Chains A and B, each alone.
Chain A
Amino acid sequence: MTHARTTRRVLAAVASVGAVLITAACSSSSTPSGSAAAGGGVNWDERGPITYAQGKDTAGVWAGVLKEWNDAHPNEQVTLIELSPEADQQRADMIKRGQAKSGEFSVMSVDVVWTAEFAANGWLQELPKDKFPTDGMLASAVDAASYFGKLYAYPQSSDGALLYYRSDLLDKAGLKPPTTWDEMQAACDKVLPTQKGMSCYSGQFQKYEGLTCNVAEAVNSAGGEFITADGKPAVNSAEAVAGLTWMVDGFKSGMIPKEAITWKEEESRQAFQDGKILFLRNWPYVYNLASKTDGSSKVAGKFGVSPIPGKTGPGVSTLGGHNIGISAFAKNKGTAGDFIKWIASEAQQKTFLLKGSLAPILESMYADADLNKEFGYLSTLGESIKNAQARPKAVRYGDVTSAIQDATYAALQGQQTPTDAFNGLQTKLEDLLK
């Protein structure tokens, strides 16, 4: 390599430093300014075509839904924009539009845990309560769509966890589905000796968002909570630590199979369908797959669902689901508002349930007899969602869930004791939620 001459080197260095200084001088504003997404000053009468962005329509249900709207509203057509099936990518895409102040996505399907972040950054249009009533909707779902006491989106679909159990084995042993952790352990003690190679229980314990859901359930079901109602972290309480200890002890005692620490939804579902575990905590989607009679499921017709068990009584599920919100920078907010109201109405919620197995957000539907006949798990799911608790509401949710996963996974792998793990987590959460 040729030796560059010293002067050339110096010139190059000066040039690059100069360039950095120049670009630094042309910096974007360094004074904080509020955002203009307040409810007032918005034209709710503007109408016209809009777009709707959500993750991949895996169930294939939206084409029909949008056709119905578009036929009825020829001048206010809604175009579907399908994003990635991965939640992280959907979030990244919506954030890019928000930061660019672009109204490209007029209406967005926002995961319940992103609401705080999107609202605080001014990307979601605040929905005034008089124009957007929430009667009849599940209280937990409405809460998950609010931030700082204001509504920022309508609940679109909900989700809660279910406990899948082997009804054939429990019936043979004369047992009912457990409602507490001790009852579950007792059931396992009675049934497992008769079954070779079967473990007791599994959830999802790989290091990802599903772990946050599982540990939130354990903590909440033991009477603890991650963040109190006024936004202060309280994860180092005795109850919270008890919840985590139950999971850690489950691994140590073999109640939870060792490899479950690498399982996400699919692996755990596979284990249940292969008859390797007695109890499974998972989302409602497993129901239809486990009932398939084409030979892929060894447990078709042999399982039932119940709400998840807790420490001293029924457990608290994690609230899943999506909210449908309007971009603060969208045009034609009048149409957008009507559209989201239409999506949250009973007729469409029924379609989503029947065609896409998406849990509705209207309380009344869970008691509907016909729907219950069609979906054997519906009433159980309704119970689960009614008592469900949302994951911690934080503007920096990505960091919060990361910290929770760090602490939980370290405890599960035996790198830290539950008490130490949650003490560390408390400090981190205090830092993040300052």
Chain B
Amino acid sequence: MTAATSHVAAAELAALNKPRRDWRFWLGKTGIFLGMTFIILYCIAPFYWMVVSSLRLPTMGRDTSFWPNPVSFENYPAVFDPINGFGRALVNSVIVSLSTTLVTLLFGILAAYALARLRFRFKGIVLAIIIGCSMFPGITLLIPLFKMFTGAYPWMPINWMNTYQALIIPSLSFGLPLCVWNLTAFFRQLPVELEQAAMVDGCTPGQAFRKVILPLAAPGVFTTAIITFIAVWNEFMIALTFGTQQNMYTAVVAISKFTGAYGFDTPWGTIMAAGVLVTVPLIIGVLIFQRRIVAGLTAGGVK
């Protein structure tokens, strides 16, 4: 083959290898673009409505114009009107969510390590129990838990109604299995060789865990913490049952009980404003940690 022919062949090859930008390609691209727009609209539209509703005049709560006229921020200070106790409710939510997250992390890390790394006879049963916990309807657990914590049973003579313990401990019933399961998935993803290498270098299993595994698992632990925090923050039934006095409402319970001056009022503007206030920090957190959260939510589902 002469140099000229191979040169031509190269040019031909180059022309053939150029990606075909024909109508199929542009159709595909437009389709994807439309699809993405649809997804964004789908997810954001109702939230947009919530924001818009919170920016209306307090008396125009059920108005349906797409942009408020006039724009009014009056609903936001109204959220913190002492009559609703929303500030206190936010504090309660933070305390309950944080404590539950910390407790579940503490227990969960230990249990997840055992489940992910150790081999023992009852592992299957333990895993089944933990996952089975997420199968109980909340109402089944709620009534006996309520009776337990209000001294209705003689073998448990405590009355923890309207206390933080009564909000935290029942939350463990769904928080702990969730935490353990997510952490187990994360720990499984870490290669066994790391620990083995550490132990070859002379660490005990405990040291290997603390010095090698835990730092590497930190992102996973962090993600699980966020997921558990949000799950407890959004929980409604337990908070509703155990926090009946206004000073023990959590944020979601407080929103569900917003009232105006006459008891019959449904102050839509204030409710939507409170909803935005409760959601925006979560969304900001989600924006910042989206990669981690997605990794966490999917780690449990993808082996």
Chain A residue nearest to B155 (CB atoms) is A26
Report the minimal beta-carbon distance from A172 to chain B, rounded to whole angstroms.
27
Q: Is A86 an interface residue (CB 8 A)?
A: yes
The answer to whether residues A266 and B244 also contact, given A1-B128, A58-B261 and a CB cut-off of 8 A, is no
B83–A56 CB distance below 8 A? yes
Q: Is B246 an interface residue (CB 8 A)?
A: yes
Chain A residue nearest to B161 (CB atoms) is A96
Segment of B47-55, B97-105, B263-271 engaged in the interface with chain A: B263-271
In the bound complex, residues from chain B placing their C-beta under 8 Å from that of A296 are 57, 59-60
Complex Cα distance, B259 from A83, in Å, reads 13
In the bound complex, residues from chain B placing their C-beta under 8 Å from that of A81 are 245
- Which single member of A60, A84, A100, A285 contacts B150 (CB below 8 Å)? A100
Chain B residue nearest to A295 (CB atoms) is B59
A265–B150 CB distance below 8 A? no
Report the minimal beta-carbon distance from A62 to chain B, rounded to whole angstroms.
12
In the bound complex, residues from chain A placing their C-beta under 8 Å from that of B202 are none
B264–A84 CB distance below 8 A? no
Chain A residue nearest to B152 (CB atoms) is A100
Q: Is B26 an interface residue (CB 8 A)?
A: no
In the bound complex, residues from chain A placing their C-beta under 8 Å from that of B246 are 56, 82, 84
- Which single member of B123, B127, B265 contacts A266 (CB below 8 Å)? B265
A56–B263 CB distance below 8 A? yes
A84–B244 CB distance below 8 A? yes
In the bound complex, residues from chain A placing their C-beta under 8 Å from that of B57 are 296
In the bound complex, residues from chain B placing their C-beta under 8 Å from that of A100 are 150-152
Chain A residue nearest to B244 (CB atoms) is A93
Q: Is A72 an interface residue (CB 8 A)?
A: no
A82–B264 CB distance below 8 A? no
Complex Cα distance, B242 from A93, in Å, reads 11
Q: Is B257 an interface residue (CB 8 A)?
A: yes
- Total A-B residue contacts, Cβ distance less than 8 Å: 65
B83–A60 CB distance below 8 A? yes
- Which single member of A4, A58, A92, A270 contacts B83 (CB below 8 Å)? A58
| A77-103 Cβ-contact flags toward B at 8 Å (1 or 0) | 000011111100100110010011000
B245–A2 CB distance below 8 A? no
The answer to whether residues A294 and B263 also contact, given A56-B83, A100-B152 and a CB cut-off of 8 A, is no
Q: Number of B interface residues, CB 8 Å?
A: 25
- Which single member of B59, B62, B263, B266 contacts A55 (CB below 8 Å)? B263
Q: Is A175 an interface residue (CB 8 A)?
A: no
- Max chain A CB contacts within 10 Å: which of B150, B152, B260, B261? B261
Q: Is A283 an interface residue (CB 8 A)?
A: yes
B262–A289 CB distance below 8 A? yes
Complex Cα distance, B261 from A60, in Å, reads 9
In the bound complex, residues from chain B placing their C-beta under 8 Å from that of A89 are 244, 257
The answer to whether residues A85 and B257 also contact, given A2-B125, A93-B244, A266-B265 and a CB cut-off of 8 A, is yes
A4–B125 CB distance below 8 A? yes
Complex Cα distance, B261 from A267, in Å, reads 16
Q: Is A59 an interface residue (CB 8 A)?
A: yes
B259–A85 CB distance below 8 A? yes
B262–A58 CB distance below 8 A? yes
In the bound complex, residues from chain B placing their C-beta under 8 Å from that of A267 are 62
In the bound complex, residues from chain A placing their C-beta under 8 Å from that of B19 are none
Question: Could you tell me which residues of chain A, from 311 to 359, have a CB within 8 Å of some CB in chain B?
Answer: 357
Question: Could you tell me which residues of chain A, from 1 to 34, have a CB within 8 Å of some CB in chain B?
Answer: 1-2, 4, 8
Report the minimal beta-carbon distance from A52 to chain B, rounded to whole angstroms.
14
Complex Cα distance, B61 from A269, in Å, reads 13
| A272-283 Cβ-contact flags toward B at 8 Å (1 or 0) | 000000000001
| A285-321 Cβ-contact flags toward B at 8 Å (1 or 0) | 1000100001110000000000000000000000000
Q: Is B124 an interface residue (CB 8 A)?
A: yes
Report the minimal beta-carbon distance from B8 to chain A, rounded to whole angstroms.
64
In the bound complex, residues from chain A placing their C-beta under 8 Å from that of B152 are 99-100
In the bound complex, residues from chain A placing their C-beta under 8 Å from that of B245 are 81-83
In the bound complex, residues from chain A placing their C-beta under 8 Å from that of B128 are 1-2
Chain B residue nearest to A8 (CB atoms) is B125
B266–A86 CB distance below 8 A? no
Task: Pull 24 A–B residue pairs with CB atoms less than 8 Å apart, ordered by A.
Answer: A1-B124, A1-B128, A2-B125, A4-B124, A4-B125, A8-B125, A58-B83, A58-B259, A58-B260, A59-B262, A60-B83, A84-B246, A85-B263, A86-B257, A89-B257, A93-B244, A264-B266, A266-B264, A269-B264, A283-B264, A285-B262, A289-B262, A296-B57, A357-B262
Instruction: Please list the residues of chain B having a beta carbon within 8 angstroms of any beta carbon in chain A.
Output: 57, 59-60, 62, 83, 123-125, 127-128, 150-152, 244-246, 257, 259-266
